Every structure is written in C-alpha cells, then in structure tokens.
Structure 1
Amino acid sequence: MRTLFLDGEWQLTATSPARNDAGVNAGDGFTMTIPGDVHSTLLEHGIIQDPYYGTNELDCLWVGKSDWSIERSFHYRKSSERCFLCLEKVDTIATLLINGKVAGEFDNEFHIHHMDVTDFMLDGENTIRFDFISAEKVAAERNERLPFPFPCDDAPNLSPHVNLVRKTQCNGGWDWGPTILVCGIYESVRLVSADSFLFEDFSVVTNPNKDGWRIRSELRIQSTETMTVFANASMRAENGTFKTAEKIRLEKGVHTYIMNMSVPNDCVKLWWPAGFGEQPLYDIDVEVMNQKIAHRIGFRTMEVKTEPTMGGRELTFSVNGQDIFSKGANWIPQDALPARITTERYESILRDVVKANMNTIRIWGGGWYEKKAFYDACDRYGILIWHDMMFACAAYPTVDWFMSSVERELRDQIRRIKIHPSIALYCGNNENLGALNWREITRNNYEKYYAEYVKFNDDLVGRVITEEDPTRLFWPSSPCAGPGDRSDNWHSDGKGDMHFWSVWHDRKDFEEYHTIRPRFCSEFGYQSFPSLEEVKTFAPETQFDIFSPVMLHHQKNRSGNQIIFEHFSRLFRIPDSFEKKLYLSQVQQALAMQTGVTYWRSLMPYCMGTLYWQLNDVWPVTSWSSIEYSGRLKALHYCAKHFYEPTCPLLYTKDDHLYLYAVNDSAVSKAVDVALRLYDFSGNVVEARNFSATLSSNDSRLLDVIPLNIIDSRNTFARAFLHTEDERITEYTLLLTKPKDAMLKEPEISISTVKKLKSDVYEISLKSIKPAFFVMLASRTPGAFSDNLLTVMPDEATIVRFTPKRHEQGVEFYVNDLYSAIN
C-alpha cells in the first residue's frame, strides 16, 4: 500500500467572483495551502482585510457569494494497484475533476469520501481540481424549488437559507458569530494505492460480560472484487497484548465486517469522567493484509437515566454505575476560519474546562462535527460529550435528495466518532421543535411543519443514529422532555432538559433563576464584554465606547450591549470609564451564572446537570462565553471553578432568607465541617455559626436558614468555609444586598509583591485594608491565573500564580475590584 499526501501548495482561482471592491476579477489566481479555506488565503495575500477587525466582516461578504476553483498538479506512478482518493470536510458544493474529467460531486461538508479514482489517473503528471459553487447561491436556488418554505435562524444571518445546504450552520451568522461563508478543504487530501480493496476505517464497541469485556471491531472495507483476506487485531492491555485473527470473505462494494475479542476484567481499568477517576486508554490496531489502522479505546459503561422520578422525568448520566452531576458548558466551533483551528487550541481550551471542575461539554447543533483532536482530548481529560447533530433553530426539508444526503452524513459521522468513550449522548438537534413557534409561517401552519419535523428528526435522524450506535441514547432534541415525548420543553422544568433564557432575553433579574427547578438545564447564559486586551485586537482606541460602531458590530445579539448596560443600573452603579464597564460586565456575567448554578446544585439529585451558554468564541466579540477568542479566561470561568467545586458550601438569598447548603457530587461520602461567618465591611466577624455533616455521593444538605430581617444586609456580607477530612478548604462569599446598596468601604486593594518563579511562573501577593470584592487580576501578557475574581480580606494572605502563554520580559499586572468600579 502507498499513500501520497496532496497537502501543501495549491492554486486558488476566482472563477466567478461576486461584485467586490478588492479588485478580484475572473481568472485571478493565488497560491493556497490545503488544508485551508478561501478567506484565509485571500487574507494571507492581502486581498481582504482581517474580517475580525473593525467592521471588515461586511467588506468580505462577497467572498462567500463567489465561485472558486482549487487545483494542483502532482506526479503519480501508476501500477496494478487501485487508487483511492480519501477526503473529509470538503466545504461544500463542489465538482472534482482529475485530469480534466469529472470524477465526483460534493454537496455535504460532513460526508467522508473514499473514492476509487483509478480510471482517472495517468502515469506521470496529473492534475486535480475542485470547482466550488457559492453555497449561498445554491441555497437560494434550492429555496425557489422547494414545495413550501423552510425558514431558518435569521438573527443576525446575512446569508439566508443556510439550512438548505449541509455545511456548518453558523457560517451564515449567529447571535455571537460573523457571517463568513467559508469554503475549502479542511483535512488532508490523500491518494491511497492498494490491491483491489481499501480498508477505510474501523470503530469499536466495548460491552461488559460475565468474565470481562467483549470488544467488537467493525471494519469498513471497500473492495473492487469478491475475495478472501486475512485480518489481525491486537490490543495492548495492562497485562500484555491480546490478539485475534480472522479470515474475511470480502464482497464487492463497501461493507462492514465484524471481528470480536475478549479481555478479562483485570487486564483493563475503567475509564471515568473528570473528577471520578482516571482515563486509561488502550491502543488497538487492526491490520487487513498490509493495510493497518490504529485507534485508542476506553472501557466504561454508559447509561442515561430518563425514568419518572420525584414528580417528573430525570435526565442523569451514569458512568460505571455512578450517577454524574453534569457540570459544564456549551461548545461552539473553535474558529470561524477553519484554517486557524489547531490541536494546540483544542488542548488549551479543554484543559481549562477540566481546571474549572467541569466534566461535560455539549457540542451545539449549529456548528460542525469536530476534528479528531477534539474527541481525543475529551477522551484523555475525561470530558463527557453531549453531542448534538448539526441542525439548529430551523425547519429542514424532507425532500428525497436532502434526506438522502443527511442519512449518509449521519452514518459517516456516527461511525467515525462512536469509538470515543467520552461520547455520552446523541441529540437530534438544537431547538428545532421550539423554533416552530418562533415564526409566523410555522405557527400558522403548525401541524404541517410539525409533521415535517417528525419525519426528519425522528424517522430519519433518530432511526439512523439508533441503527449505527444502539449502545447510546438518542435524545430527540434540546430542549426535550425525553424519548417518546414530543412536547415542546422550552422553559419547562419538570422533565428532561430545558433551556432557560428569561434572564437574558426577557431582561429578568438574576433571581428569576430561583423560580425554576430544572431536572437538567442545558442552556442558560448571560453576556459580558471581552477584556480590554481582547477589545484592542478588533477596535482602535477611538472606538473604546460600548455603543461605538465597532463595539456594536462585535455584538451580534440585538440590543445586547443595552441589556448589559441596563443591568449595571440595577445591580451596581454606572461605571465612569470604558475599562471599568468591561470589568463590571464580566462580574455581572459571573454573578448571573453563579446565581443559577448555585440554586440548581442545591436541588441535587432532583437536578443533575447545568451546562451554561457558552464556553468559547469563534472570533473576538461581546458574547456569553467564559473563554475569550484569544484564550483569555473571563471572570465567569474563574468563578465556575468555585461554583463547580465537587464538595463545597453554597449560599444564596431567596424569599428574604439566607440559605446555607453543603453539596457533594463526588463518588464518595465526605465528612465535612462548615463555618458560616457574617462580616461587616470593615472585615469584623459579627456572627459565627458552625456545622458538621456527612455528605453522601450526590448529596445536597441544607445546613442553615437565616431571616434577612434580623441582619443589617446593607452593612453585612456572608462567607462560608467547608473543610473536608483531607483538610481541603473551599469557600463561598455572598453580598446580602445588591452591590449598589451595600455600604462598601474603600479596600485600598493593591499588589504587594510579584515574584518570578521557575519556568516563567509569577507569584502575586495581594493586600487590602478593608474587604475587597470581585478582585480581578489582569495582564497585557496572555496567560492564566491560578485563581481570580477573589474576595481579599485584610487579615488573610491572598497569593495567586500567573502562567504566561509565552516568554516575555517585563510582565506587568493590574487589578480591578468592585468598589473602584462603582465609586
């Protein structure tokens, strides 16, 4: 077998450019790197300006309206072997020509291709070309041919009808992302020469039996003739290598063949989610004749409990028999420009997920099926994946050609990803059922569109997923009341998962989170502005105003900046500088998410999951994210590390009372001591209460309730400290009134010392004269702090470490706090 990689330099040509001010005419050409995308290529050549800066996005819209070709020549030595072209992520509408002859057609970014191109190949020099047609133009043409309209998300979508082409849906714009309708090829282009057949890939299903584990390997082989081959599988376990060999009779065409292997229990260790144990992974190789493929697998049982309990219907992940409280956030694509997506950025973001005590990520349905590096990292870090299929906020057509393309997409992708132990659940879509009530045309014709929804989502998506991977649960939609229940679960908290957006979209107070009792809240969020250093990457200093044209352009949610600003007046006071507004918005966002998560964790085990919206950004923007596009952590992400602590105290006020809980979502019981302290704003203890408890797994214990009418709330704040048997201490601080009403004293917060340790790590000591709240350290140097958004007390040592992302001389730090921001 021979493999020829066609990665590297190709030639990009504008075959039919839309009207533009960049001076690009038909026939203009540019060198292009594959894997890569057209926008990134034009940016590299200076044809377009960075679409992430200023309002340049609008000047780049013509690129997605244009037709392009990508081609190169290569030398190939022809032999008696068959030649297969292997491709993934061809985005989206394209024709393949090899040596001037049409060799294939593409209409779905998510299809995986292993094409026998033997008859198109020449001995010696060859040419390969992809002719891309604008997905926007194709979508518009398809819309005209449909029997009736299928509306899609339009806020703010500058590329209509994106639901009619099978590409990343948020390419057309979303309420946190730009309209950058990319096209290109985003994975390696390979030519594989082999005798008569191609071993395309294999997946693995592991199931426990009475003696250990049964390993079922599913081999996908394409053969040009009926023949017999020999296959060998081997897995390196704890106590040696296990092997099996089989003679397989190949049929002509593409078929799946099964190989089975068993390993005893003592030869493998269980894979666990983060916080519950280790994540051992084992190498498994399958070789068919001289074609060999290797993967890594984990051993665990996965159950999603959906039984009627406690007056509703639960949604609980259970791994190896241990119920898991799902703590995490929603994932969107790493970048709007595929050429900028890197394994290093996956690693950085997912490490920060685990550091924040998260164990679950939801891959949202308006993005794409992720690259292998993403799933591999989730396997290594123990991050459970709630996996939407790539359909979001739209109606999707049920015409034959579309359904056929989607069926192949689902089979390709489920076969590719199901080998990963991190995948916990497949979900049919994001909000498609609820979206039927959003638009006049679907509301007025609800029965017709509902029937189309059932045909598409249940009869196609659910059926195919269950056929391809019956070991995992198919969850019809998010939100949803559960399998078999098609009621619209939008803002319904009694069963299944819910999305709760009243605080943001309806502009309710944060205490609105206390009005619901979700079984599992898979979306809820609040926006904040990015840090000053992030703003500098997309706006000149003349635009440093939250209502400036550039700041508003980098806010894709209608009235978003106004909502943030309006809430300042409710909670705080209006800051007097741009930088203070940025800081205070991040405090506000963290408080919003802390309010919801704190209350819902106190409901455990009634509530067994909170996934806030959203984890990351596709470009620098004002959004719901806790990690900025650059990788800087917002205040929310640091706050999440505390409100997601496995064993910790929780404080909240509700109905004019202060509630103290101790929670434990770890796998083992914990004996804890909890100290509740009420302080005045000079830092003096005005009341002390102490409690002891033994918390079982997934236990939430109410320890104290204090009427607020016996506390001088304006002059008092509460802190709770939890000590475990192993001396681990966690704490929670809560103001007992709105910050603007609290009689704060000037803390005189400062950085007392900065020490440079080994490996460029800095140790920062903070001091204050009075209690300082929401203390946020920052640096112009990219990096991460060991902790942030702190309460700094006059008599307590507060030491934080900073790890820069790159070596830099003269690293400087500055500090923000609540008092300074609102006074």
Structure 2
Amino acid sequence: MTPNDPANGTVHIWDVWNAKDYTSYREWRPRFVAEFGFQGPAAWSTLFDVVHDSPADPYGHEMLVHQKANQGNLKLERGYLPHLPAPRTIDDWHLATQLNQAHAIRFGISWFRSLTPRCTGTVVWQLNDNWPVVSWAGVDHAERRKPLWYALRDVYAPRFATIQPSGTENDDDGASPAPSELVVLNDTDEALAATAAVRRLTFAGEVLAEETFELELPARGHARRALTEALLATDDAGNEVGVVDFVGADGGEVPGLARLVHDLADVVDQRLDPAAAEVTAEETSDGAVVTVTARSYLRDVVVLADRADRSASVDRSLVSLLPGETARFELRGDGPISAEAATDPRVVRSANQLHGDPIGTPLP
C-alpha cells in the first residue's frame, strides 16, 4: 500500500503547513487524518515571560530560539498574508498568527467532517506543549488556551454544520444542482429534526436573500442540502455574510447545534468596521464579566484573558456577532479584575481591529 494514500488507511497532512495555503486541505479526500497541524504563538504572557527581545520582534533572536520549526516564522507569514491584513505591531502580529492558526485548523476539520461517511476522523497535532514556544499546540506550556482550543471545541461538536462546495461527497456520486451545500452532522445517539433558516445579509444587517427548509438527521447520521446560488452568490463578498440558524420541532434552539456563520471573504478582503464592538465589563469576586455588543458585523471576538490578569482564563472565544447582538465572556482568575483592565483593546480583540489603527507596540 502506498504511504499516505487517501483511499486506504490513515494519512499525515503536512504539505499545508510546510508549503501550501490552508485552503489546500480541500485537495485531500482522506479516509482518516492521523496527523496535521498549523502553528501559532503561545499566549502573550507565556511567550513574553521567556522572550525578551527589545523591541519585540517576530524575527528577534529570542523569539526564534522559541520557534523550532524550519523557517517557522516565514511559514506563519506566508500563511496569514493571503487571509489577514498585514500586522504593524507585535500585538497585532500575535493576534493575526493566533487567529490564522484557528482559522486554518477550523477550515481543515470542517472540510474533513463534511466528507462523512468517507472520512471517519481526524487527529490534530497537537493538544499541548512541554515548553513555552511558537507551535502547533492548542494549549500552551503554562496551560493557557489559545484561540485554536476554542475553535477545536466548536468544530468537534457532536452536532455540527458547515457550508462546503457541492459535489464533493454527495450520496448521488457528486451530482449537484448548486455550487454550495449545507452539511449537518449528528454524531449523537438521538435522531434530530430541525428547521434551517439560511440568510445572506450585509454587515449592517440588511437581509438580501433567505430560504427556510426542513432537515431530518438520523442518529449517527448526516444531512446535505444544496443551496441555491441566490443564497450565497454575491458581487460584494467584502460586505456580506451568510448565516444559518436552526430551530427545533418545539420552536426553540436545537440542543448542541450552534448557529453557522459563513464568511464569504477572507478578513483581508472584508470591509469590517474596526469600531464595531461596544465593550463593557463588570468586576466579579474572581474576575470579570465582559459584554460585547456589535454595532455592525463583528468577526471572531477573542478575549486574551491573561493580558487582563495573568491568572485569568475565559469561557469562550472566536464569537462572531451580527449587528445589535450581544455576547458575554466570563473571565475567572485569582481575584477581581477591574473593568478598565478587562476592556483594554489589547484584551478584547477581533478580526475587525486588524483593519483599524495599529494596537500596541510597533514592529521594528
């Protein structure tokens, strides 16, 4: 048997990290992915406890001591430049590389899961680190969770939905009347009936196209639905987004099946408002509660809790909000965290910020 044969056994996919854009995960149709990964830096506190280049620099001597991949930082840069605005500060570099790591792995796993029942599983390299380093891990040496960890929790949810190119793994051997399809997986022991409401809307919230249809998912099964071209086709992808909401038979939310936000363009090509987030916080006995409200489409809100307090962690990250929507983030640490610290723009971050004025210390 040929090693790394996608038709038989397991494959290790390292061509993406080493040489290709992460969208090349779609070149693979594996049976089981036994190893693949994409790098990103450790949490800010973990990394800069040991890296003391002055000024801080991705290509500084100490930073490169803590980067053991061959040409690792060049690969990071090659990886994010097609997808994200080029960072101008070390703080924005840290955000961009962490976001791109999460985006890359979320993209790959979403694709592999959509190939069900052909592809039956994936194993990501890697969960955690044994020293403070720029690496493929989702949890760093100090046991702080990167944005990747939250992406993994979401993309590996037993009930999961994704939009993918049609004709990839259809039950009818690939025939499809539409360029895109909604794939919904139900890896639980209970059958599921749900209504899917698909919308395309502007970043300001204007609905441009919509369709509602019923889904029936057997236990340990899946459903596919071709999406009409009008739902996702656009001449203005930089100002529009696709959204799928799911409603159960009782009219309420479907347990375990989260809303699907489907970006129609990469961050670098989106006209995201850098001031879209309205952020407030309340101090608690063991941390703070941060409330974020979106003035317009707000993509991938992440809370870098350790930058508010070294002991702090946060319950969620990588949350995208439509105009007017609100999300709460719970920070917990060794004691109260002030509202001022919790709402610092270096703490509450988003992809939108990368389009605005640089945040933090300029790169050399």
Matched, 1:554 2:83: no
Shift of 1:553: 0.9
| Cα pair distance change 1:610/1:670, threshold 3 Å | same
* AA of the residue aligned to 2:263: L
Aligned to 2:304: 778
C-alpha change, 1:671 and 1:761, in structure 2 (3 Å) is farther
1:767 to 271, 290, 293: 293
Q: 1:532 and 1:562 mapped to 2: Cα distance? A: 20
Are positions 1:489 and 2:41 aligned together?
Answer: no
Contact 2:30 2:119 (8 Å CA) reproduced: yes
Which residues in structure 2 correspond to 1:85-104 (within 5 Å)? Answer: none
Q: Can you list the C-alpha shifts for 1:24-64, whole angstroms capped at 9, x where unaligned?
A: xxxxxxxxxxxxxxxxxxxxxxxxxxxxxxxxxxxxxxxxx
Percent identity, please: 23
C-alpha distance in 1, partners of 2:337/2:13?
45
Aligned to 2:175: none
Q: 244, 259, 273: which one pairs with 1:745? A: 273
Distance 1:737 1:786, change over 3 A: same
Shift of 1:652: 3.5
What is the SS of the residue equivalent to 1:730? Answer: coil
**Cα distance per residue 1:150-203 (max 9 Å; x no partner):** xxxxxxxxxxxxxxxxxxxxxxxxxxxxxxxxxxxxxxxxxxxxxxxxxxxxxx
Alpha-carbon distance change, 654 to 816 in structure 1, aligned in 2, over 3 angstroms: farther
Helix, strand or coil: the match of 2:16? coil
What does residue range 374-773 of structure 1 map to in structure 2 within 5 Å?
487-490=1-4, 492-506=5-19, 508-540=20-52, 542-652=54-164, 657-707=179-229, 709-710=233-234, 712-725=236-249, 727=253, 728=255, 729-756=257-284, 760=286, 762-773=288-299
- Quote the Cα distance in structure 2 between the aligned partners of 1:653 and 1:819: 26
1:816 to 349, 354, 359: 349
Deviation of residue 556 (structure 1)? Answer: 0.2
Please report how far the alpha carbon of residue 644 of structure 1 lies from its aligned counterpart in structure 2 after TM superposition: 1.3
Does the 8 Å contact 2:67/2:133 carry over to 1?
Answer: yes
Structure 1 CA distance, aligned partners of 2:24 and 2:245? 26
- Structure 1 segments of 4 or more deviating over 4 A? 653-656, 708-711, 808-811
Aligned length: 332
**Residues 752 and 684 of structure 1, relative CA distance in 2, 3 Å threshold:** farther
Cα offset for 1:710?
A: 4.7
Q: Secondary structure at the match of 2:181?
A: strand
Find the aligned partners of 1:683 and 1:747 in 2 and give their Cα distance: 16
Taking the TM superposition and a 5 Å limit, the aligned residue runs for 1:341-352 are: none
Aligned equivalent of 2:171: none
User: Higher relative CO (CA 8 A, sep ≥ 6), structure 1 or 2?
Assistant: 2
Distance 1:561 1:633 in 2: 21
**Preserved CA contact (<8 Å) 1:653 1:736:** no
The DSSP-based 3-state class of the residue aligned with 1:575 is coil
Cα pair 1:648 1:731 within 8 Å, conserved: no
Report the CA distance shift for 1:807/1:578 in structure 2 as closer, same or farther (over 3 A).
Answer: same
CA deviation profile, 1:284-325 (whole Å, cap 9, x unmatched): xxxxxxxxxxxxxxxxxxxxxxxxxxxxxxxxxxxxxxxxxx
What CA distance in whole angstroms lies between the structure 2 residues aligned with 1:711 and 1:702? 26
Contact kept in structure 1, 2:216 and 2:223, CA below 8 Å: no
> 2:206, 2:156 → 1: CA distance?
28
Please give the per-residue CA displacement for 1:602-625, whole angstroms capped at 9, x wherever unaligned. Answer: 122221111111110010100001
Q: 1:723–1:537: structure 2 CA closer, same or farther, 3 Å change rule?
A: farther
Output the CA distance in 1 between the equivalents of 2:142 and 2:90. Answer: 20
Match of 1:97 in 2: none
How many Å separate the matches in 2 of 1:795 and 1:662? Answer: 27
Whole-angstrom distance in 2 between the partners of 1:641 and 1:721: 19
CA drift of 1:776 comes to 0.9
Structure that is richer in strand per residue: 1
Distance of aligned partners of 1:800 and 1:810 in 2 relative to their CA distance in 1, 3 Å threshold: closer
Structure 2 contact 274–355 (Cα < 8 Å) conserved: no
Per the TM alignment, residue 585 of structure 1 is displaced from its structure 2 partner at its CA by 0.7
Query: Which 10-residue stretch deviates more, 707-716 or 522-531?
Result: 707-716
* Deviation string, structure 1 residues 244-277 (Cα, Å, up to 9, x no partner): xxxxxxxxxxxxxxxxxxxxxxxxxxxxxxxxxx
Distance 2:15 2:197 in 1: 34
Partner of 2:174: none
SS in 1 for 2:214: strand
Is the 2:194–2:214 contact (alpha carbons within 8 Å) kept by the matching residues of 1? yes
One-letter code aligned to 2:218: S
Mapped partners of 2:37, 2:10: distance in 1 = 15
Q: Secondary structure at the match of 2:77?
A: helix
Q: Secondary structure at the match of 1:583?
A: helix
Q: How does 1:218-233 map to 2 (within 5 A)?
A: none
AA aligned to 1:502 is: D
Q: For residue 504 of structure 1, give the secondary structure of its aligned residue in structure 2.
A: helix
Unaligned runs of 5+ in 1: 1-486
Q: Measured at CA, do residues 519 and 815 of structure 1 come closer, stay the same or move farther in structure 2, by a change above 3 Å? A: same
Residues 122-271 of structure 1 aligned to structure 2 (within 5 Å) = none
Q: Provide TM-score, normalisation by structure 1.
A: 0.39
Other structure's SS at 2:259 match:
strand
- SS of match in other structure, 1:700: strand
Structure 1 residues 792 and 710, CA, compared in 2 at 3 Å: closer, same or farther?
A: closer
**1:817 alignment partner AA:** S
Q: CA deviation at 1:810?
A: 4.2
Q: How far, CA to CA, are the matches of 2:145 and 2:185 in structure 1?
A: 26
Please identify the structure whose Cα radius of gyration is greater.
Answer: 1
3-state DSSP class of the match of 1:636?
helix
1:748 corresponds to which letter in structure 2?
A
Aligned to 1:794: 323
Partner of 1:32: none
Tell me the SS of whatever aligns to 1:676.
strand
Residues of 2 paired with 1:709 and 1:732: CA distance? 17
Whether the 8 Å contact between 1:747 and 1:772 is mirrored in structure 2 is: no
3-state secondary structure, aligned to 1:639: helix
Contact 2:37 2:126 in 1 (8 A): yes
CA contact (8 A) 1:679 1:717 kept: yes
CA positional deviation for 1:545: 0.6
Q: Is the 8 A contact 2:282 2:338 kept in 1?
A: no
Structure 2 unaligned blocks of 5 or more: 168-177, 357-364
